[in-house]
Amino acid sequence: MNIDTLARILLVEDNAHDAELTMKALIPIANEVQHVWDGAEALDYLHCRGKFSGRPRGNPAVVLLDLKMPRVDGVEVLRRLKGDPELKKVPVVVMTSSREDRDLNACYELNTNAYVVKPVNFSEFVDAVRQVGAFWAVLNELPPGGMFPGG
């Protein structure tokens, strides 16, 4: 795999332990993993505003989105992202500990691309993150025009 073709991933996760494990699992897959702590930061990143106003333009190859977060929760981030003409094609994979039917249904109603329940077991968690990252950031074909900087 050529490092120049590796993707940028946005990780939206308020749990420090899960964020650290996820970022380590994504090292061989992503050129950059931008970690933000909640939905408000995720929206700022996606809209290139606030502390992210100077970030490289272009959308991430995939957003890995937790649901239960402070300030703005994952369902609201998903609602805003998929309702925005500039962002609606960005793949979003909900990665959560929630097995609640209402969360699952709400996310698919809002056009999430995938819903993954985080495994509790360490090695299963790392394996799940790598599989998700590899599919969405490496194997998945982007729409015409791409989503990367300069794309």
Local confidence pLDDT in tens for the 151 residues of the chain = 334 445 789 999 999 999 999 999 998 887 789 999 999 999 999 999 999 999 988 899 999 999 999 999 999 999 999 999 999 999 999 999 999 999 999 999 999 999 999 999 999 999 999 999 989 888 888 776 554 433 3
Query: Residue 9 has what pLDDT?
Result: 94
Beta bridge partners of 72: none
Q: Please state which architecture CATH assigns to domain 7-138.
A: 3-Layer(aba) Sandwich (3.40)
C-alpha span between 69 and 75 (Å, rounded): 10
Indicate the domain borders of the chain.
7-138
C-alpha span between 78 and 89 (Å, rounded): 12
Query: Residue 142 has what pLDDT?
Result: 72
Query: Residue 57 has what pLDDT?
Result: 84
pTM, to two decimals: 0.90
Query: Residue 144 has what pLDDT?
Result: 65
| Tokens encoding 3 | 């490092």
C-alpha span between 21 and 59 (Å, rounded): 23
Query: Residue 3 has what pLDDT?
Result: 40
Torsion of Cα atoms, 83 then 134 then 5 then 92, to 10°: 10
C-alpha span between 141 and 82 (Å, rounded): 19
C-alpha span between 40 and 12 (Å, rounded): 10
